[in-house]
Amino acid sequence: MTAIRTSLPPAQIVPADRLSTVLDAAISLLRGRRIAVVTGAGISTDSGIPDYRGEGAPPRTPMVFDTFRSSEDARRRYWAGSHLGWRRFTSVHPNDGHRALALMEEAGIITGIATQNVDDLHERAGSRRVTHVHGQMHTVTCLQCGTTFDRERIAADIEALNPWIVVPEQVRLQPDGDVEIDASQDFHVPPCPVCGGILKPDVVFFGEVVPTDVFAAARDIVADGDAVLVAGSSLVVNSGTRLLEVARRKGVPIVIINRGPTRWDARAAVRVEGGTSELLTELADALVAPF
């Protein structure tokens, strides 16, 4: 059952028989406004990519940037799991939530999407103005010479060096595209094809900061909006809260759709507890006029 919480009157869980009334209020709040969208891992769970903090989320030890840079063993472990995870990433598909946002962009009612996800499901659903705040899995950059490569090229090098590596039928993805693997000591990491330096996927590791130009692009998306729609994020990570501070300072309303509590629940004009696929579809159906 989906429940919707609104801060007008003070935040409360809305009984099932009042859900349509509160959803109508959310639609009325968003109708006629230019909507900036912030998404997190929760929007991709229906595509088979797990959330970081939702129910059933697997325990994980994220890679720290200084460890990756300084330890060859750490790079072997990371790249072995990351390669299998990325290969598995390529087999997942956008869901109704991604498609609903793409439809809203096509209709000209959203300013763009600032996503905390490293998958490319927004783009594959048809969204065009997407900023990846935490990077993306589909490019790789050398830490020494700065050359950027398509991930497919590096994947081909990995498989040439490690012909034994295959994608198991049961690979449990993590939201950053990594998986756990035991054979990392037998794994050979390819060097940069240009200078022989250390290659790193273009995702933001723990201990790194979001690049200034990337955050500026995400901030511009939010600043262009007359309202902000948060979909599938608990807003625990600092980058998400910094973006919402932009909206708060402008005084624009914030609508949050998420399974589970978020750090900004008390500040939301409308708080929706539920899945993004069905609720974003309902919003798009109501807000997008037939073409």
Euclidean distance between the first and the last CA atom of the chain, given in angstroms as a whole number: 32
Q: DSSP strand E in 151-280: where?
A: 199-203, 227-231, 254-258, 270-273
Rounded to an integer, what distance in angstroms lies between the CA atom of residue 285 and that of residue 99? 11
Q: What are phi and psi of 38, to 5 degrees?
A: -120, 125
Q: Could you give the residue numbers annotated as active site?
A: 134
- CA–CA separation, 266 and 6 (whole Å): 9
Cα gap 117→203, rounded to integer Å: 10
Residue with tokens 């012909």: 163
Q: What is the DSSP letter of 64?
A: B
The answer to whether 92 and 70 have CB atoms below 8 angstroms apart is no
The DSSP symbol for 192 reads P
How far is Cα 167 from Cα 91, in angstroms, rounded to an integer?
Answer: 11
- Contact between 63 and 74 under an 8 Å Cβ cutoff? The reply is yes
Q: How many angstroms separate the CA atoms of 216 and 125, rounded?
A: 24
**How many Cβ atoms sit within 10 Å of the Cβ of residue 284?**
20
DSSP state of 44: G
Q: 276, 97 in Cβ contact below 8 A?
A: yes
Report residue 281: phi and psi, to 5°.
Answer: -65, -45
- Strand 12-13 to 227-231 pairing: unpaired
